Amino acid sequence: MKPKNKIQPLYFVFPAFLIYFLTVIIPIIWSVGYSFFSWNGISDMKFVGLDNYIRMFFDHTFQGAVANNLKFVLMGSIYQLLVGLLLAILLSHITRGCNLLRVIYFVPCIISSMAICQIFSKMLSVQPQGLVCFILEKMGLEQIALLANSNTALYTITLIDGYKYCGLYMIIFYSAFVSISKDVLEASIIDGCNLIQQYRYIKLPLIKNIFSIVIVMLINGCLKTFDVFYILDNKSKSTEMVATYMYKTAFNSADFGYGSTLAVFLVIECLVAVGLINKLLGSAKGDEAGE
Amino acid sequence: MKHTKKHFILKSIFYILIVIVVVIQIYPIFWVVCSSLKTPEEMTYTAQYSIPSSFYLGNYISALTISNIPRYFLNSVVVAVCTLTGIVILGCPVAFVISKVKVKYAGTLLGFFLFGMMIPVFACLIPMFQIYNMIGLRNTYWALIIPQVGFGLPMCIYLYTGFFKFLPDSLLEAAIMDGAGMGTVFLRIVVPMAKNTTMTVLTYNFVFVWNEFTYANTFISSSDMKTLPIGLNDFVGQFGRVDWGSTFAAIVISILPTLIVYFILNKNIIEGMAAGAVKS
- pLDDT, tens digit (0-9, with 9 covering 90-100), for A244-274: 999 999 998 888 999 999 999 999 998 898 8
Amino acid identity, position B124: C
The SS3 call for residue A96 is: coil
Read off the pTM.
0.87
How far apart CA B164 and CA B196 sit, in angstroms, is 12
Q: Is A112 near chain B, with CB under 8 Å?
A: yes
Q: What is the least distance, in Å, from the CA of A227 to any CA of chain B?
A: 7
Residue percentage of chain B with pLDDT more than 70: 94
Candidates B178, B131, B134, B169; CA nearest to B150 is B131
| Model confidence at B173: pLDDT above 90 | no
pLDDT in tens, A226-247: 989 998 887 888 889 999 999 9
Residue A1 to residue B277, Cβ atoms within 8 A: no
Chain A residues close to B217, C-beta within 8 Å: 230
Mutate to test the interface with B, among A2, A4, A13, A132 (most CBs of B within 10 A): A13
**Residues of chain B found within 8 Å of residue A4, distances taken between Cβ atoms:** 181-182
Work out the end-to-end distance of chain B between its first and last CA atoms, rounded to an integer number of angstroms.
48
Query: In this structure, are residues A140 and B276 in contact, taking their beta carbons and an 8 Å threshold?
Result: no
Residue B108 exposed, middle or buried by CB count within 10 Å (0-12, 13-18, 19+): exposed
Highest mean pLDDT among A210-214, A220-224, B18-22, B148-152: B148-152
Closest CA to A253 of A28, A72, A61: A61
Quick check: helix, strand or coil at residue A212? helix
pLDDT band at B112 (very low <50, low <70, confident <90, very high): very high
Confidence of residue A285 (pLDDT cuts 50, 70, 90): very low
Q: What local confidence, expressed as pLDDT, does residue A283 receive?
A: 53
Which residues of chain A neighbour B25 with C-beta distances below 8 Å? 104-105, 107-108, 163, 167
Q: State residue A106's pLDDT score.
A: 84
Q: Is B242 helix (H, G, I), strand (E, B) or coil?
A: strand
- The pLDDT tens digits for A35-87 are 998 888 777 788 888 899 999 999 999 999 999 999 999 999 999 999 999 98
Q: Does A231 contact chain B (CB < 8 Å)? A: yes
**What pLDDT does B2 receive?**
53
Taking the CA atoms of residue A79, residue A80, residue A86 and residue A91 in that order, the dihedral angle to the nearest 10 degrees is 160
- Find residue A46's DSSP bridge partners: A38
**A84 contacts chain B (CB < 8 A):** no
> Phi, psi (5° rounding) for residue A37?
-120, 155
Best CA proximity match to A112, nearest among B45, B265, B72, B129 = B72
| ipTM over the 0.90 cut-off | no
- When CB atoms are compared, the residue of B48, B213, B228 closest to A227 is B213
CA gyration radius for chain B? 24
pLDDT-derived band at B117, boundaries 50, 70, 90: confident
Q: Give the Cα separation of A172 and A219 in Å (integer).
A: 16
Q: Is residue B141 scored above 90 in pLDDT?
A: yes
* Whole-number Å distance between alpha carbons of B220 and B139: 5
CB of B256 within 8 Å of a chain A CB? The answer is no
**Percentage of residues in chain A having pLDDT higher than 70:** 97
Percentage of chain B modeled with pLDDT above 90: 32
Using the predicted structure, report yes or no on whether residue A21 has a pLDDT greater than 50: yes
Which range has highest mean pLDDT (A102-116, B82-96, B193-207)? B82-96
How big is chain A, counted in residues?
291
User: What integer pLDDT is reported at residue A18 of this predicted model?
Assistant: 94
Is residue A256 within 8 A of residue A39, CB to CB? The reply is yes
Select the residue of B17, B242, B258 nearest A111 (Cβ to Cβ): B258
Residue of B278 and A52 predicted with greater confidence? A52
Q: What is the pLDDT of residue B180?
A: 84
B59-63, B108-112, B236-240, B272-276: the lowest-pLDDT one = B236-240
